Structure formats: C-alpha cells, structure tokens
Amino acid sequence: MKKIGVAIVGFGTVGAGVAEILTKNHDLLVARTGLDISLAKIADLDITTDRGVKVDPAILCTDAFAAISDPSVDIVVELIGGIGIARKVILAAIDAGKAVVTANKKLLAECGAEIFGRAADKGVDIYFGASVGGGIPIIRVLREGLVGNAVRRINGILNGTCNYILTRMEEEGLPFDDVLADAQRLGYAEANPSLDIDGFDTAHKALILAALSYGVQIPLDSILVEGIRGLDGRDVRYAGELGFKIKLLATIAREDDGIKVFVAPTLVPKTNMLASVSGVFNAALVSCDMADDTLYYGRGAGRFPTASTVVGDIADIAMNLAAGEVRHRNVIPKTGEASALVPASEMRNAFYARLSVIDKPGSLGKFATILGNHGVSIAAAMQKQGDDKPGAVPVVVITGKAREAGVKEALAEILAAGVVAEPPVAYRILKD
C-alpha cells in the first residue's frame, strides 16, 4: 500500500485534532482511500506541552523548514495561522514541491494571489477547505459539487462567536456587553474579540467565497464590514416582533449591476433556514442557477470539526499524489479582477431603521421627508413600546430597496435636524 507522509506545522488546537484523526481513524482512511496516510512530522516551537493526543515523540521537531524538506513528507499542513511565518512555511513547502493544506483564512484572503500563483507555477496542490466554515464542507461543495453552477448568491453565518452572542441576546434578552463578557469567560470569545465581533473574520471568509464563486480577488478594504459590537437589545427585540432574527451575515452575490460582497448584521426572516442556526453553529445558504438553494450547516470552529475538514483535504491530495496527479482546480485566481465589484456606497438593500423620535409635532414628517429626499422610500413605519429617553418614542422604519449612501446620508441629516434623541441605527434586511 502506498504510504503518504503528512507534516503538521503548528501543533495547536487544530493541529492536535488532525494528529488524533490521522491516528484514531487511520484504518478507516485506509479502507476508504486505499492509502496509508500517516503522520511523518509535527513541527512547533513548543513540543513539550501535552496536547491530549498521543504521538510518536520521534516525529516531533521544532524546525518547520526541516520538517518540510524531510523526504518522508509528501503533504504539509500549515496550522500556524496569521501571515508572517505561515506564509513562509507555505511558500517553502510549495518550493520544495510538497502539496499544502491550510486553514488560514487571513493569509488566503490577503495573500491568496501570491500563494496560488506560486503553487500553480510549481505544479503542486494547495487545499484550504477548513479556511471557511470549519467542519462544514462549503469550499469542497463550491469547487466540486456545484462545479456546473453559476453562483447567484451566498449568505453565510460564518463566525460562531458572533452567532453565539446574537443567539443569547435574542433568547435571553441580555445586553451585548454582558453576553460578550460571558462568552469570554466560557472561551467562546477571545480576550481581544475584535477580529470576531467587528466582522473581520467573517470578511476574510467572505473574500475566499467570492474568489471561489466569481474568480475575483477583492481587497479587504474595498468591502463594507460592519460587526455586531454594541448591538442594541432593542433592535434584537423589535426585529423579533417583526418576524426576523438579527444575524451577522456575509453576503456574496452577483446581480445585474455587478458583484456585491459585504459583512453586516442583517435581519433574516424567521422562515429562512439561516434563522434556525443557533449558538456557535455556522451555515451558508448558496443560491445557484441550476441547483437552486442549498444550505450547509455545522460547527464553524473547534478542534475536531476543523480537523475533520483538514483531513478531508489531506485524503484528496493523497489520492492525487498516489495517481501522480495535481488537481489544482478552480483556485483563487492569480491576478485579481475586482472591477466588477459594486462600491459599498452604491449597494441597494431594504433596511430596518430605528429612530428615537422626539415627541413633538412635525418630527415624523420631518424624518420622512429627509428619507424621501435621499431616495429612501418607507415601506412601513411602526411606533414601538420602549424605554427611550424621556420625551422620545422609538419608531421602526422598514425601507424599500435603497442606496447604502442614501440611507447613511439621510440618517446623518435626521440626527443633525434634531428630531431624534439618539443616533439612529439601520440594518439591512435579507429578502427571503
């Protein structure tokens, strides 16, 4: 039986998971692939801390580059994360003619062109299934199962920390800060939670999905990224009363006017499958020209779910190597072609807006007029019960499809006009 050697570079949470799966389910992998896929090297600066998985001490080493060039290694699994050393490891592996598996969304979103270009030049496989959605095979499905489809739209809940916070805010009526603190205590959120709650982790994943779907490499700073930091419990409650849940959604879509990619808290109709995704789970709803709507749901992070997807990639590459083949298909393009991206300010969505309207004659007319002046039509307006500042009443407005810039300008003007007691907020609505 052909032996395929795997080097894990970065022996952290996911690395230990990969080591455990390759060990514990080795026979299963043999039965299913016909190959002896085995750990050849594990490289980490720290090779003494117990990771809760039993590995042969002889394969542990501290020199990643020595591990990469070891002749027993066929596949290099980069699980360091970040850009600096991870990028060097991957490029060194490619240069050594070794196939690469990575789960590094930040690196792919920011340096994808360089890495995929180098891999194509050198003729080696690079797989990155676990970079989006952890244990959910969304990358595989887009590359393979839906290969005959043009992607119309993807809406994804791609960050478990945010979805956990939003679920608890909704189910328990708790304020954002309390749930965040609790999530940090429980280990669901980092001490510095910015990457998650400010939307950048989701944005990295959105850019990878956009690249796979539309062959464009879009710079992070050209897309709208809004996180959930400071989300007001009133909006969660009012959205619920209107039949919506607020989710941090990545939206990747191609419409008549171009490609849209953005990340923002979004009102999802409760009848949409995405509204049923609770807690740390992730999901992506993919709408295609042929398969129509499909949805993929699972754990978006965690040791074994992420490692499961990494091992799926390892098995694929192992079979490619056994066949003497590179199956380097539909990767992120070498040269970015993002000209089709619709600028954030020009995107059109229906909005939910909440205004704390000062209760005096003419207030309602005034803000309605300002919205109209900016091309924002009002589909519905409702006065809500609430504990706004004295003399102010909460009014929720559902707009027709409106330009992003129009809504922002109108809300700024409404604030300046002195008809509201606090800054208005606005969130996009997912059409069902």
Closest CA to 141 of 207, 75, 213: 213
**Residue 21 touching a second copy (CB under 8 A):** yes
Kindly write out the interface string for residues 176-215 of this chain, putting x where it contacts a second copy by CB under 8 A and - elsewhere.
---------------------------------------x
| C-beta closer to a second copy: residue 360 or 431 | 431
Q: Is the dihedral of CA 281, 431, 339, 337 positive or negative?
A: positive
Q: Among 41, 98, 105, 205, which one carries the catalytic annotation?
A: 205
Which amino acid, residue 199? G
The interface with a second copy within residues 322-341 (CB under 8 A) comprises: 323-325, 327, 329-330
Q: Which of 147, 380, 416, 417 binds a second copy (CB under 8 A)?
A: 147
Burial class (CB in 10 A: 0-12, 13-18, 19+), 227: buried
Q: Which of 16, 40, 124, 146 binds a second copy (CB under 8 A)?
A: 146
**Residue 157 touching a second copy (CB under 8 A):** no
Residue with tokens 């050198």, as numbered in its chain: 122
CB of 259 to a second copy, least distance (A): 15
- In Å, how far are 20, 21, 54, 269, 291 from 24, measured between CA atoms? 6, 5, 10, 42, 36
Structure tokens at 131: 């970079």
Closest CA to 344 of 237, 220, 244: 220
Kindly write out the interface string for residues 299-318 of this chain, putting x where it contacts a second copy by CB under 8 A and - elsewhere.
x--x-xx-xxx-xx-xxx--
Tell me the window of 5-13, 19-27, 42-50, 176-184 that interacts with a second copy (CB under 8 A).
Answer: 19-27
CB of 150 to a second copy, least distance (A): 6
Closest CA to 245 of 283, 196, 207: 283
Structure tokens at 382: 């409702």
Residue 124, CA atoms < 13 Å, CB-side half-sphere? 20
Q: Which of 135, 160, 406, 424 binds a second copy (CB under 8 A)?
A: 135
Tell me the window of 25-33, 79-87, 360-368, 418-426 that interacts with a second copy (CB under 8 A).
Answer: 25-33
- In Å, how far are 29, 250, 288, 291, 351 from 154, measured between CA atoms? 32, 8, 9, 13, 19
| C-beta closer to a second copy: residue 323 or 382 | 323
Residue 30, classed as helix, strand or coil, is helix
Q: Which of 177, 190, 293, 337 binds a second copy (CB under 8 A)?
A: 293
88 is catalytic: no
Residue with tokens 């879009």, as numbered in its chain: 218
- Give, as one character, the DSSP assignment of residue 348: E
Tell me the window of 23-31, 46-54, 67-75, 384-392 that interacts with a second copy (CB under 8 A).
Answer: 23-31
| C-beta closer to a second copy: residue 227 or 305 | 305
Applying CB under 8 A, what is the total number of residues that bind a second copy? Answer: 62
**Residue 289 touching a second copy (CB under 8 A):** yes
Q: Which of 5, 298, 394, 406 binds a second copy (CB under 8 A)?
A: 298
Cα-Cα-Cα-Cα dihedral of 160, 161, 167, 169, to 10°?
A: -170
Give the integer Cα–Cα distance in Å for 166 and 247.
7
Give the integer Cα–Cα distance in Å for 362 and 73.
74
Give the integer Cα–Cα distance in Å for 192 and 200.
13
| C-beta closer to a second copy: residue 214 or 352 | 214
Q: Which of 164, 200, 297, 367 binds a second copy (CB under 8 A)?
A: 297
CB of 271 to a second copy, least distance (A): 8
**Residue 102 touching a second copy (CB under 8 A):** no
Structure tokens at 299: 């754990």
Give the integer Cα–Cα distance in Å for 320 and 327.
7
| C-beta closer to a second copy: residue 69 or 287 | 287
Q: Which residue ranges make up the site for a second copy (CB under 8 A)?
A: 17, 21-22, 25, 28-29, 31-34, 129, 135-137, 140-141, 143-150, 215, 271, 273, 276-278, 281, 283, 288-299, 302, 304-305, 307-309, 311-312, 314-316, 319, 323-325, 327, 329-330
- Write out the catalytic residue numbers: 205
